[in-house]
Chains A and B, each alone.
Chain A
Amino acid sequence: MAHSYMRPVLLIALLVALIALPSVAQASGYNAVTSLATRVLIYGIAAASLNFVLGYGGMVSFGHAAFFGIGGYVVGILYQHFALEEPLLGLIPGTNQMLITLPAALLVSGILAAAIGALSLRTGGVQFIMITLALAQMLFFLFVSLKTYGGDDGLIIRRTNELPGLNMRDKHTIYYVCLAVTVAFFALLYRLVHSRFAQILVGLRQSERRMAAIGLSPYRYKLVAFIISGMGCGLAGALMANFLRYASPDMLHWTKSGEFMVMVILGGVGTLFGPFIGAAVFIVLESLLASWTEHWQLGLGLILLLVVLYTQGGVQAVFSRLPGRR
Chain B
Amino acid sequence: MTLFIEQMLNGLQFGVTLFLLAAGLTLIFGIMGVINLAHGSIYMVGAYAGTVVATQTGSFWLGIPAALAAAALVGAAMEFLVIRRLYQRDHLDQVLATFSLILIFNQVITLIFGRQPLFVATPEFLSGSIEVLPGLLYPAYRLAIIVVGLAVALGLYLLINKTRIGMLVRAGSTNRDMVRALGVDVRLLYTVVFGLGALLAGLAGFMAGPILAVQVGMGEQILITTFVVVVVGGVGSIRGAFFASLLLGVIDTALRAYLPGLLRQIMVGPEADALGAGISSMGIYLLMAIVLLIRPKGLFIPKS
Nearest to A131 among chain B residues (CB) is B231
CA separation between A308 and B97, bound complex, in Å? 6
Q: Report the minimal beta-carbon distance from B273 to chain A, rounded to whole angstroms.
A: 9
- CB < 8 Å: which of A122, A254, A297, A301 contacts B224? A254
Interchain Cβ contacts within 8 Å, total number: 127
Known A134-B285, A137-B285; contact A126-B91, beta-carbon cutoff 8 A: yes
Chain B neighbourhood of A141, CB < 8 A: 278, 281-282
CB pair B104–A305 under 8 Å, yes or no, is: yes
Q: Report the minimal beta-carbon distance from A306 to chain B, rounded to whole angstroms.
A: 9
CB pair B285–A138 under 8 Å, yes or no, is: yes
CA separation between A123 and B288, bound complex, in Å? 12
B188 within 8 A of A: no
A130 within 8 A of B: yes
Known A126-B29, A135-B289, A308-B96; contact A146-B275, beta-carbon cutoff 8 A: yes
Nearest to A146 among chain B residues (CB) is B278
B108 within 8 A of A: yes
CA separation between A305 and B292, bound complex, in Å? 33
B296 within 8 A of A: yes
CB pair B227–A133 under 8 Å, yes or no, is: yes
A60 within 8 A of B: yes
CB pair B103–A122 under 8 Å, yes or no, is: no
A224 within 8 A of B: no
Known A305-B82, A309-B85; contact A130-B230, beta-carbon cutoff 8 A: yes
Q: Which of A62, A145, A258, A261 has the most CB of B within 10 A?
A: A145
Total contacting residues, chain B, CB less than 8 A: 48
Chain B neighbourhood of A144, CB < 8 A: 278
CB pair A262–B99 under 8 Å, yes or no, is: yes
0/1 interface trace, chain B 249-282, chain A, CB 8 Å (1 if under): 0000000000000000000001100111111011
CA separation between A75 and B252, bound complex, in Å? 32
CB pair B97–A309 under 8 Å, yes or no, is: yes
- CB < 8 Å: which of A125, A137, A145, A261 contacts B99? A261
CB pair B106–A60 under 8 Å, yes or no, is: no
CA separation between A301 and B104, bound complex, in Å? 5
Q: Which of B110, B270, B276 has the most CB of A within 10 A?
A: B110
- CB < 8 Å: which of B92, B103, B228, B298 contacts A265? B92
CA separation between A311 and B125, bound complex, in Å? 54
CB pair A138–B282 under 8 Å, yes or no, is: yes
CA separation between A135 and B292, bound complex, in Å? 12
CB pair A119–B289 under 8 Å, yes or no, is: yes
Q: Report the minimal beta-carbon distance from B207 to chain A, rounded to whole angstroms.
A: 24
B235 within 8 A of A: yes
CA separation between A301 and B107, bound complex, in Å? 9
Chain A neighbourhood of B100, CB < 8 A: 300-302, 304-305, 308
CB pair B96–A262 under 8 Å, yes or no, is: yes
- CB < 8 Å: which of A123, A129, A147, A295 contacts B95? A129
Chain B neighbourhood of A151, CB < 8 A: 274
Known A126-B29, A262-B99, A297-B107; contact A145-B275, beta-carbon cutoff 8 A: yes
Nearest to B271 among chain A residues (CB) is A147
A180 within 8 A of B: no
Chain B neighbourhood of A308, CB < 8 A: 93, 96-97, 100
List, sorted by A's number, 22 A–B pairs whose CB atoms are closer than 8 Å.
A54-B92, A122-B293, A122-B296, A123-B231, A123-B292, A126-B35, A126-B91, A126-B235, A127-B297, A127-B298, A133-B227, A134-B227, A145-B279, A147-B270, A262-B99, A298-B108, A300-B100, A302-B100, A304-B97, A308-B93, A308-B97, A309-B85
Question: Chain B interface (Cβ within 8 Å of chain A)?
Answer: 29, 35, 82, 85, 90-93, 95-97, 99-104, 106-108, 110-111, 220, 224, 227-228, 230-231, 235, 270-271, 274-279, 281-282, 285-286, 288-289, 292-293, 296-298
Known pairs A134-B224, A138-B286 / 19 extra A-B pairs, C-beta < 8 Å: A119-B289, A119-B293, A122-B296, A129-B95, A130-B228, A134-B231, A137-B285, A138-B282, A141-B278, A145-B277, A145-B279, A146-B274, A146-B275, A254-B220, A261-B95, A295-B111, A302-B100, A308-B97, A309-B82
